[in-house]
Chain A
């Protein structure tokens, strides 16, 4: 059985009489332990799907199921221990006035978990940050270090599913590789399921077992990593997307 099922989901934003269909009738499923990628240009609705799973975007049709159960709305605290998200911009996703310690211990406090001292130290170690960073503020860290903190925060509640919204697009190339390797390692160690959004096929190729190409809010083509590596795509849009980043993927 699939862990995440997106079943004919549409997301429509309504504002001041205007309707914007961000996602239209998209379906896919992600198996337990799998890493699934959503690719497409900006505005294709890929991030909106992640936000819809988290209850931050209005689902107007279809259902989202986690572990076979339709998600309640509002999501409730059980959802937080199952699904967590890493945001795109590590400069915006950490509270500027909270120390790393506060940021990491907040989810523990919310869920009444004990032993937060030891858990925070362990979490920093898990994402490869020295314990001396614990009481620093986000502005004292680099982009890559911040994203590590954001990953550590997402893992504090030991979720099964990690939603990754372009987790490396705000970072420069060398740091990107480090963060992607960290994510792969954590997935292996903890048996996490990834649902990852990116516009960068190279990143998706590095990280994902299966991918879904999206355009204008619709699913265009679903393929496996092998298909991608051997350029076996059937639709012209997926082909053009591949051509645009082919040189980097081969390197």
Chain B
């Protein structure tokens, strides 16, 4: 263990692999010192664990209805977070819902920021008519209210998780493109880009290898901050019957079904709401910490 640590912390690594692993180790040390980021990491880790282990740790089947047991308050033995209007165990539904939430988040996180980054960096790097065309396209997407555009897309493509994700991703990329373009404009005239261009590098290599790494931190921060919004839009689509379909235990859907009982049986809407709140908070904290870690300039000297 100590030899491994010494190997990782060697100030003059002898191979590229050792250097890379050493940097990861340093990043880990940095994020470990940031308590809030660790809290975020723990929350996201728990979400991952719960999603992975849902079938084994959930006390009840999330789909089985038991009308004799409906709207039980939290604290009922066997149903610690209570039951909903069909007598389904809310805890189990939240656990299974973590899978759907995670699935939506993962799909949106790998599509929208990537698309936005590409559009923004290409637009900013080439300038001229490429910039004009791509930015007007971005303006058009930005001009629509997000939920309305998502609604239109789902209405065309039909309801379901995948189409909801597609709709969210298609409406979520313009802000990333704007952020990436603004950063690219300041980067593209810098000496280090001139130097690599002078070495004969082509546009794809410059954009992917030299411009994108400079834009990544601000985009990653936006992504983690947007995650709460993504969960809520997915919930909104579910509420309108255009996203995840009942009886799937999606958190937003659970909130909207609990709306009817909000005053008498508050827990039906509150429990999944708390889940969304905690997970959003976790992503935000993690995003904040990641920004510090991803910037090598903030590394301890």
Residues of A whose CB lies within 8 Å of any CB of B are 54, 56, 76-77, 79-81, 83-85, 87-89, 92-99, 101, 106-107, 110-111, 117, 130-135, 137, 139-140, 150, 153, 156-157
Q: Is the interface of A mostly helix, strand, loop or mixed?
A: loop
Which residue of A135, A137, A140, A157 is within 8 Å of B199 (Cβ)? A157
Which of B190, B191, B194, B301 makes the CB contact (< 8 A) with A140? B301
- Residue B221, interface by CB 8 Å: no
Is B246 located at the chain interface by the 8 A CB criterion?
no
Which residues of B have CB within 8 Å of A84?
A: 198-199
Q: Which residue of A lies closest to B13 (CB)?
A: A135
Distance of A98 Cα from B192 Cα, bound (Å) = 11
Asked if B199 contacts A95 (CB within 8 A), the reply is no
Q: Is the CB of B19 within 8 A of A94?
A: no
Closest Cβ of chain B to A110, distance in Å, is: 5
Contacts of A85 in B (CB 8 A): 195, 198
Contact B191 A87 (CB under 8 A): yes
Q: Which chain A residue shows the least CB distance to B199?
A: A107
B201 sits at the interface (CB 8 A): yes
How many residues of B are counted as interface, with CB atoms below 8 angstroms from the partner's CB atoms? 27
Q: Min CB distance, A108 to chain B, in Å?
A: 9
B interface residue numbers (CB < 8 A to A):
11-13, 16, 19, 22-23, 190-192, 194-201, 205, 209-210, 213-214, 296-297, 299, 301
Whole-angstrom CA separation of A125 from B198 in the bound complex: 23
Docked-complex contact B12 and A131, CB < 8 angstroms:
yes
Complex interface: chain B residues within 8 A of A97 (CB) = 213-214, 296
**B residues less than 8 Å from A156 (CB atoms):** 199
Bound CA–CA A134/B194 (angstroms):
22
A83 to B197 alpha-carbon distance, docked (Å): 12
11 example contacts (A-B, Cβ-Cβ < 8 A) are as follows: A56-B194, A80-B198, A80-B199, A87-B191, A92-B191, A95-B196, A98-B210, A106-B199, A131-B12, A132-B12, A133-B12
CB pair A132 B11 closer than 8 Å:
yes
B152 to A: closest C-beta gap in Å: 39
Of B192, B201, B214, B296, the residue contacting A110 (CB under 8 A) is B201
Residues of A within 8 A of B190 (CB): 92
Instruction: Report the nearest B residue to A140, measured CB to CB.
Output: B301
- Nearest 4 A-B pairs (CB), nearest first? A132-B12, A80-B200, A135-B19, A77-B200
Q: Is the CB of B297 within 8 A of A95?
A: no
B238 to chain A: closest CB distance in Å?
A: 40
The one of A54, A111, A134 that contacts B198, using a Cβ cutoff of 8 Å: A54
Interface contacts beyond A101-B19, A137-B299, A157-B199: sample of 17 additional A-B pairs, CB < 8 Å, sorted by A: A54-B194, A83-B198, A85-B195, A88-B191, A92-B190, A95-B192, A95-B196, A97-B214, A98-B213, A106-B209, A133-B12, A134-B12, A134-B13, A134-B19, A139-B296, A153-B199, A156-B199
Find chain A residues with CB under 8 A from B297 CB.
Answer: 96, 137, 139
> In the complex, which residue of chain A has the Cβ closest to the Cβ of B214?
A97
Query: Closest A-chain residue to B192, C-beta based?
Result: A95
Known: A97-B214, A132-B11. A92 touches B199 (CB 8 A): no
In the bound complex, how far is the Cα of B190 from the Cα of A85, in angstroms? Answer: 14
Residues of B within 8 A of A107 (CB): 199-200
Contact check, A93 vs B213: say whether CB atoms are below 8 A apart: no
Chain B neighbourhood of A88, CB < 8 A: 191
A60–B299 alpha-carbon span in the complex (Å) = 47
Residues of B within 8 A of A134 (CB): 12-13, 19
Bound-state CA distance A117–B19 (Å) is: 13
Q: Which A residues lie within 8 Å of B19 (CB)? A: 99, 101, 134-135
A99-B19, A139-B296 are known contacts. Are A93 and B13 too (CB-CB below 8 A)?
A: no
What separation, in Å, do the CA atoms of A81 and B198 have in the docked complex? 10
Docked pose: A37 CA to B170 CA in angstroms: 55
